[in-house]
Amino acid sequence: MNFFWIWNGKRIKQGLIIVVAAFFTAIILFTEGGELAVFTSNDVPLAIDQVKSKDKRIALTFDISWGETKAIPILDQLKKNKVKASFFISGAWAERHPEIVEQIVKDGHEIGNLGYKYENYTTMENEEIRKDIIRSHEAIKKVAGTQPELLRPPNGNFDKRVLTLSDKMNYTVIHWSLDSEDWRNPGMETIVENVASGADPGDIILLHASDSAKQTADAIPNIISTLKKKGYTFYTVSELVSNADIKSKEIK
């Protein structure tokens, strides 16, 4: 049996007006009310995505979950260019490579929690997520001598449950606003272009220091020099978001 939708012209017009009005209302809500771009819904805690600012502030962030050959060259480039960044590391990796974690701390970079097993939190039960965060927290604390307060869920996957659990554990979830796509190994020039062409004030940039990111270390000097020429200054994530006002958009 075939079914046909019969649309009344007047109803279509009314529907379009409602949709357009809702769209512009959403834009207004998103562009007003502060500087800090976040994901939130009602009373659900926040996940920071970007800081909206007139100043050209920006943060480089590096995820590390495995490998030992790429992190040190990246650290060397950051040190040479006098740039501080935020490193999100897995607890299991921290246990295997304490000497690299110690170097990250020594160089003055910020350390965040990337979970312990590097598994998708949205597919895990609440208690599993909680235990994974705690296990990673303790591992990082033992090696780094600091207690991480920022959490980037593995692969950047999170939902309202993850936000709520993280908040109860005194963690702020950090996402990103600009993906360098260095994990694809598209070539050093492409990585630089992905960052330089898409950068906006307040961006949190996703990069990787795991061994799978084979071209990132070579791209770092050009990323830094290009952004500096455009007037950008570099901050850790905590520095970037400090004293920022909150802006919100709904997360499903």
Provide the annotated active-site residues.
63, 208
Region of 96 (left: φ > 0; alpha: ψ -120 to 50; beta: rest) is alpha
Burial 170-200 (b: 16+ CB within 10 A, else e): ebbbbbbbbebebbeeeebebbbbbbbeebe
Check: CB of residue 174 under 8 Å from CB of residue 237: yes
Q: Three-class SS of residue 235? A: coil
* CA separation for the pair 191, 139 (Å, rounded): 32
* CA separation for the pair 80, 76 (Å, rounded): 6
* CA separation for the pair 34, 244 (Å, rounded): 7
Checking 5-11 for CB contacts under 8 A at 24+ apart, the result is: none
- HSE-CB of 6 using CA atoms within 13 angstroms: 1
* CA separation for the pair 239, 191 (Å, rounded): 25
